[in-house]
Amino acid sequence: MALLAAVIFFSTQSDRFLTGQNFSLILQQVMVVGVIAIGQTLIILTAGIDLSCGMAMALGSVVATKFAVDYGLSPYLAIPCGMLVCIAIGYLNGALVTSIKLPPFIVTLGTMNIAFAATQIYSQAQTVTGLPEAMTFFGNTFRLGGTSITYGTVLMLGLYVLTYLFLRETAPGRHVYAVGNNPEAARLTGIATGRVLVGVYMLAGLCYGIAAMLSVARMGVGDPQGGQTDNLDSITAVVLGGTSLFGGRGSIVGTFIGVMIVGVFRNGLTLMGVPSVYQILVTGILVILAVAADQLTHKKG
């Protein structure tokens, strides 16, 4: 609803807003946070939260680019290396949450700082430049009619479809909901809750790895300062999409809408000439409204 209203409003305000090109642009701008938000959604569905996602993404992108530039590794090997680092961070998060029963908030707060420091130390806080062509493939565009579309946005949309099918149509996907709803009940029905949790954190890590690849493609560099607000940005998108922070309730479609709301507002307000600080204001109001609306409907139901 809010997304639709925003789209209609902005199209009356700027003749450049309602064009395929501009929508392709919005998709391109949200693709990194959009893919991170997929991982964040999976984790929040299990009643967890991941603060380390943006820093994991930054570490993955620095590892991938440095492997390619400094050690001359082929991009087809360097990118998976970056992804592996992200999956490893996901595994560490999942293992700490399940085996020592630490709260996800604390675990990922710790790994967030570890990943950030590792990024700075490994890159000496220097941006990695001079990448081989193949590394930025997903930043390239193809033409569809009069619109140029970035390959990365297609990948993002594909991942959303895959996640949708995974959550709806597969047993492990339904286990994610079950564990988030009531871990005790899930355990009693024979679900290996620990394994589901570790799996979810690793899957999320894979999402951050893919986001790292997209970020590198979008920026054309490996950026050690990247991802610093992506944790809160992705949580914002998940919450706007109506997923409950208490786990077990929500949808990946909602997250996509949440990601788009933020992107549409940022782009639309910029086109109108409104300072970006108002965009932050609107986002803040929207988050509270979204959760309040959710609460009210559930009280009634």
The residue ranges that bind other proteins (CB under 8 A) are: 1-2, 5-6, 9, 12-16, 21-22, 25, 28-29, 32, 124-127, 129, 215, 218-221, 223, 225-226, 228-229, 265-267, 269-278, 281-282, 285-286, 289, 293
Kindly list the distances between the CA atom of residue 207 and the CA atoms of 9, 36, 56, 76, in Å, as whole numbers in the listed order: 33, 6, 10, 17
Nearer to other proteins, 86 or 217 (CB): 217
Closest separation between CB of residue 199 and other proteins, Å? 29
CA 276 to centroid of chain Cα atoms: 22
Q: DSSP characters for 280-299? A: HHHHHHHHHHHHHHHHHHHH
Closest separation between CB of residue 288 and other proteins, Å? 11
Nearer to other proteins, 197 or 261 (CB): 261
Tokens of 189: 């029905």
Nearer to other proteins, 23 or 201 (CB): 23
Closest separation between CB of residue 119 and other proteins, Å? 12
Q: Which residues pair with 148 in a beta bridge?
A: 143
CA 216 to centroid of chain Cα atoms: 15
- Under a CB-based contact definition with an 8 Å cutoff, are residues 86 and 212 in contact? yes
Closest separation between CB of residue 44 and other proteins, Å? 22
Closest separation between CB of residue 204 and other proteins, Å? 20
Q: How many residues does the chain have?
A: 301
Nearer to other proteins, 45 or 115 (CB): 115
Nearer to other proteins, 154 or 282 (CB): 282
Q: How many CB atoms within 10 Å of residue 169?
A: 9
Give just the sign of the alpha carbon dihedral 21, 26, 32, 34: negative
Closest separation between CB of residue 225 and other proteins, Å? 4
Nearer to other proteins, 63 or 178 (CB): 63
Three-state secondary structure call for residue 190: coil
